[in-house]
Amino acid sequence: MKQALKFSVIKQLDGTLARTGLIETPHGSIETPAFIVGGTKATVKTLTPDQVAALGGQSILVNTYHLMLRPGADIMAAAGGVNKFMNWAKPTFSDSGGFQIFSLGMAYKKGIDATSHSEKGDALQAVHSSSQLAKVTDDGAHFRSQINGDKLYMTPESSMELQHKIAADIHMAFDELTSPLAGREYIKKAMDRTHAWAIRSLKRHQELNDEHLSRGENLQALFGVVQGAREEDLRQESAKFLGERDFDGYGIGGVFEPEEIANTVRWVNEILPNDKPRHLLGMGAQPADLFLGVQYGIDTFDCVAPTRQARNGALFTYDGRINIKNSGYSQDFTPIDKDCDCYTCHNFTRAYVRHLFMADEILGLTLASIHNERFVVRTVDSIRDSINDGNFFDYKKKFLERYYGVERAQDFLK
């Protein structure tokens, strides 16, 4: 049978789980490790697809939950799938909708607090409350639209049907994300439910691929999603269970602080098949995430943080993050970062970008987003080069000490 996805390992870094590789899809290839640009509603906020390609973006991840609400999966299908709809010629990922149902869906005005983000990992601080907008059962999830309050229902099967209409190259199986505050008993229950849903997702996915094959259409790939929160034995159990199933690759779900990434990812990737790609969901809010993920076997990441932080004026530089709104930049006629090769840094100054923010001009959001996305994409590209060149650890040390300072960088160099 024709393959939906092909993955090959190019170089494995001795003594580590880090590797470089190539993911081949119907819309082209992704050199790994790679940062997958967050395009939640079939758009990368403030950027055109051409701008995303120009800054080096190899792939975009879209959000099933938001696209089912508007414009609707049927419209996506009528347009010919997400690539044609948004005029993006390169590979695409879609998530299952599970994360939003268990965070945004429940968090809309009440329930889980999904709005708290910290510099330390920029992690979602999800907190369960007595009044939630979603009810999870073994069969699926009942929830309300955050747009108009309509009652909605999603199952593993319907998630697959929606994702196949969206028609990204790579999908995620329907899973349940647990709160960081959940107890072990509930974490285990949610993991078992995720496994049952994974089997159902895979079955429906294979049926839909058979339909694509009969019509001469591109096949679509499916990643199983490993859960288990911070429990080592549960993470290992989940990796073993899913690793034995016929998925095209694997997502690793959860809410992490940077110091938790190494162990949690290692527990999983020491077990998952070495010949399939591994994606760390929602990770890449700061550089340490990227280095630690790659070192412990991650091939791709996705995160909306670079553009979200950019729209708030928080810009990455190789000497640390800055707030471009600070008055000290009002007469700073240097680039955001003299070592950055992005369009913004080549053509504009800190003073100009600050002016745009203070004047509430949309161009400021665009220039800031180009810079932040290029910074993260380029960082992962450089990590990939360092693995191929055999100097990953030297590059990691040099980069993190410059970005965080020598003392703080030690937390990520141990």
Domain co-membership, 218 together with 297: yes
Instruction: Examine the residue annotation and report whether 248 is marked as an active-site residue of this protein.
Output: no
Domain co-membership, 289 together with 339: no
Domain co-membership, 194 together with 293: yes
Domain co-membership, 266 together with 351: no
Is residue 275 assigned to a domain? yes
Domain co-membership, 379 together with 263: no
Instruction: Examine the residue annotation and report whether 341 is marked as an active-site residue of this protein.
Output: no
- What is the secondary structure of 17-41 as a DSSP string? S-EEEEEEETTEEEEESEEEEE-TT
Tens of each residue's pLDDT in the chain, 414 residues: 478 999 999 999 999 999 999 999 999 999 999 999 999 999 999 999 999 999 999 999 999 999 999 999 999 999 999 999 999 999 999 999 777 776 644 444 433 333 333 333 333 333 334 446 678 899 998 888 878 888 889 999 999 999 999 999 999 999 998 877 789 999 999 999 999 999 999 999 999 999 999 999 999 999 999 999 999 999 999 999 999 999 999 999 987 777 789 999 999 999 999 999 999 999 888 999 999 999 999 999 999 999 999 999 999 999 999 999 999 999 999 999 999 999 999 999 999 999 999 999 999 999 999 999 999 999 999 999 999 999 999 999 999 999 999 999 999 997
Question: Encoding tokens for residue 69?
Answer: 């609400």
The confidence score (pLDDT) of residue 102 equals: 67
CATH number for the domain that contains residue 285: 3.20.20.105
Domain co-membership, 320 together with 297: no
List, for residues 388-400, the tens digit of each pLDDT value: 999 999 999 999 9
Is residue 129 assigned to a domain? no
Question: Encoding tokens for residue 103?
Answer: 């965070």
136 and 176 Cβ atoms separated by less than 8 Å: yes
Catalytic residue among 14, 95, 299, 381: 95
Domain co-membership, 258 together with 399: no
The confidence score (pLDDT) of residue 156 equals: 97
Give the end of a domain, one of 272, 303, 334. Answer: 303
Give the end of a domain, one of 282, 303, 324. Answer: 303
The confidence score (pLDDT) of residue 121 equals: 33
Catalytic residue among 50, 302, 332, 337: 302
Give the end of a domain, one of 266, 282, 303. Answer: 303
| pTM tops 0.75, yes or no | yes
Structural domain range at position 90: 24-98+152-303
Domain co-membership, 28 together with 174: yes
Q: How far are the Cα atoms of 129, 230, 257, 288, 407 from residue 118, in angstroms, in the given order?
A: 21, 19, 10, 14, 20
Domain co-membership, 195 together with 340: no
The confidence score (pLDDT) of residue 146 equals: 79
Domain co-membership, 282 together with 344: no
270 and 244 Cβ atoms separated by less than 8 Å: no
User: Which helix (H) or strand (E) covers residue 251, if one does?
Assistant: strand 249-252
Q: Closest Cα partner for 106 from 16, 14, 209, 176?
A: 176
Q: Using the 8-state DSSP alphabet, how is residue 158 labeled?
A: H
Q: How far are the Cα atoms of 33, 191, 351, 379, 412 from residue 403, in angstroms, in the given order?
A: 21, 36, 22, 12, 12
Domain co-membership, 204 together with 288: yes
Residue 151, Cβ density class (10 Å: 0-12 exposed, 13-18 middle, ≥19 buried): exposed
Rounded to whole angstroms, how far apart are CA atoms 33 and 31?
6
What's the N-to-C CA distance of the chain in angstroms? Answer: 45
**Number of domains present in the structure of the chain:** 2
Domain co-membership, 64 together with 159: yes
90 and 53 Cβ atoms separated by less than 8 Å: yes
